[in-house]
Structure 1
Amino acid sequence: MRDLGAGLGYLVRGQRWVLEHGRAFGFGLFPGLITLVLYAAALVALAMYGDDFTTWATPFADHWSSPWGGLFRGFLAAVLFALALLLAVLTFTAVTLLVGQPFYDSLSERVDRSVSPDGSAPQSSRPLWRDLWISARDSLRVVVRAALWGVLLFALGFVPFVGQTVVPVLGFFVTGFFLAEELTAVALERRGVELRERLALLRARKTLAWGFGTPLAVAFLVPFVAVFLMPGAVAGATLMARDLLDEDTATETAEDDGDSHENDHAQTAGSSRAG
């Protein structure tokens, strides 16, 4: 239970960090907004043309007596849209991180520097194109895993009582785990930690991953909320990644110390000019 609270604590600390660093928060919004527009357009198109698609896909229902053909196709259209919505929630983070990798890598490095005792941040030795390829490949693997879980849970949702009570709760925890993996990947990939090792780290501390990712899974059901929480989620996941690897964390941020030195220098220079 302690890890469950610690995971939530990292999420809160991450949101606080980006609010205290307004420029990082502003830049971190762009990838989420781009992904939101793309997903919204796809879902609107599905809502508009879903009936046409189900009609095309079920020619055998053309000869069914009324109203059974219409009811069957309407049910299929509703199931198709619900499944698309579930997959959108499961994949939103992975796609946003892929679209905004340069933004989030920079943000994650700033977080690392701000809490590192020596003010340093691990950096990838690979070229950018290689990092992008590895990120896309690993994101696809995670999305496939998440999609398989999503389809399984969606099917179990039709089981009476269990599908309406237990399955939704399981769905949030499964989604939360994969969200934690996708978000910590930003910091862990810079450290050369491969996907298999990342999954092993999180499986060893599932409650930490659930405490961080499950509240996000609930919040991400609201698209605009997902956009505004993404920068802080990346920041919090960076802090959690340091915990997973047992890295030392300073009590005072290096960036804040640097800002203080700059302010002191500016004040001293101002006093000299006044004198």
Structure 2
Amino acid sequence: MLRGNFFRGLGYLGEGFRLIRQPGLRLFVVIPLVINILLFGLLFYFLGELFGVLIATAMGWLPDWAWLQALDWLFWILYGAVILLMLAYGFVIIANLIGSPFYGYLAELTEKHLTGQEVSPDEGWAGIIKDIPRALWREVQKIIYYLPRAIGLFIIGLIPVVNLVAAVLWFMFNSWMMALQYVDYPADNHKVSFRALRELLADTRLSALGFGLPVALAAMVPILNLVVVPAAVCGATAYWVRENGATRN
């Protein structure tokens, strides 16, 4: 039986966008945001260069007919769509790897703002630096969890007719992964293992899917995906405080 409230879950990302405007949280929003902008620019540049070469190669394979050669704009549109999809998911994974120590501290500050209670005695830059190895390992755990399931869904998607169901499963899985991805930051601050976190979110799965759905959609929109990450961290912390995290420690 699915528990939780899907529509309540939908509201947490909006709350996250409100929270990132709080004076005490802005610094730890701005720093990873600057990193994300630089990362996004580099990814876009290198993927653009790569696909420019691919387009030139593909056009070289076509017969030397003027009307076919004139279709290079169509190739740019198709490859542009591929670039956006690759940026959406590649950007989220890499940005979270780089920014994970900042996001853990942002979650800590957000929880303090919401509850008025300290989460950890370690504060400031010393705490961020100390937590880098643990934060990176948590990101690796999420990737290990994600990859075999993503590969399985990809294989299902290759089967005719069944691939219609796979499309729905992909959408639900990405929403679930976004909830896992971001609620993990406040959970890790409370030393909750990744396995225990999955069980906690499963207890309120509808709320988790409601939270993860708008995050997954926003991650696919260029520019918006730059600011959705810190907002998702703050929204996930509100989820943790009010749904099933802090009350079970």
- TM-score bracket, normalised by the shorter chain, equals 0.7 to 0.9
Identity rate, percent: 24
SS of 1:123 mapped into structure 2: coil
Amino acid at match of 1:36: F
Q: Are 1:15 and 1:232, in contact at CA under 8 Å, matched by a contact in 2?
A: yes
Measure how far apart 1:42 and its partner are: 4.8
Q: For the aligned residues, what is the CA RMSD?
A: 3.3
Distance 1:32 1:212 in 2: 22
Correspondences of 1:5-154 after superposition (within 5 Å)? 5-21=7-23, 23-24=26-27, 25-48=29-52, 89-116=88-115, 119-123=116-120, 128=128, 131-154=131-154
* Alpha carbons of structure 1 residues 39 and 205: separation in structure 2 relative to 1, 3 Å: farther
Amino acid at match of 1:30: V
Distance 1:3 1:91 in 2: 30
Amino acid at match of 1:16: R
Q: Are 1:32 and 1:230, in contact at CA under 8 Å, matched by a contact in 2?
A: no
Rg comparison, structure with higher value = 1
Q: Are 1:87 and 1:150, in contact at CA under 8 Å, matched by a contact in 2?
A: no
Amino acid at match of 1:169: V
Q: Describe the superposition over 1:132-181 as per-residue Cα deviations: whole angstroms up to 9, x where unpaired.
A: 21221221121132222222222322333442x33222212111211211
Amino acid at match of 2:13: L
Structure 1 gap segments, 5+ residues each: 55-65, 67-77, 249-275
Q: Describe the superposition over 1:165-219 as per-residue Cα deviations: whole angstroms up to 9, x where unpaired.
A: 3322221211121121121122111111111111221222222211111221122
When the two structures are superposed, what TM-score results if normalisation uses the length of structure 2? 0.73
Q: Are 2:102 and 2:128, in contact at CA under 8 Å, matched by a contact in 1?
A: no
Higher relative contact order (CA 8 A, sep 6+): 2
When the two structures are superposed, what TM-score results if normalisation uses the length of structure 1? 0.67
Structure 2 gap segments, 5+ residues each: 64-77
Instruction: Identify the residue that residue 227 of structure 1 maps to in structure 2.
Output: 226
Q: Are 2:174 and 2:216, in contact at CA under 8 Å, matched by a contact in 1?
A: yes
Distance 1:138 1:109 in 2: 16
Q: Describe the superposition over 1:29-77 as per-residue Cα deviations: whole angstroms up to 9, x where unpaired.
A: 22322332343345335424558999xxxxxxxxxxx9xxxxxxxxxxx
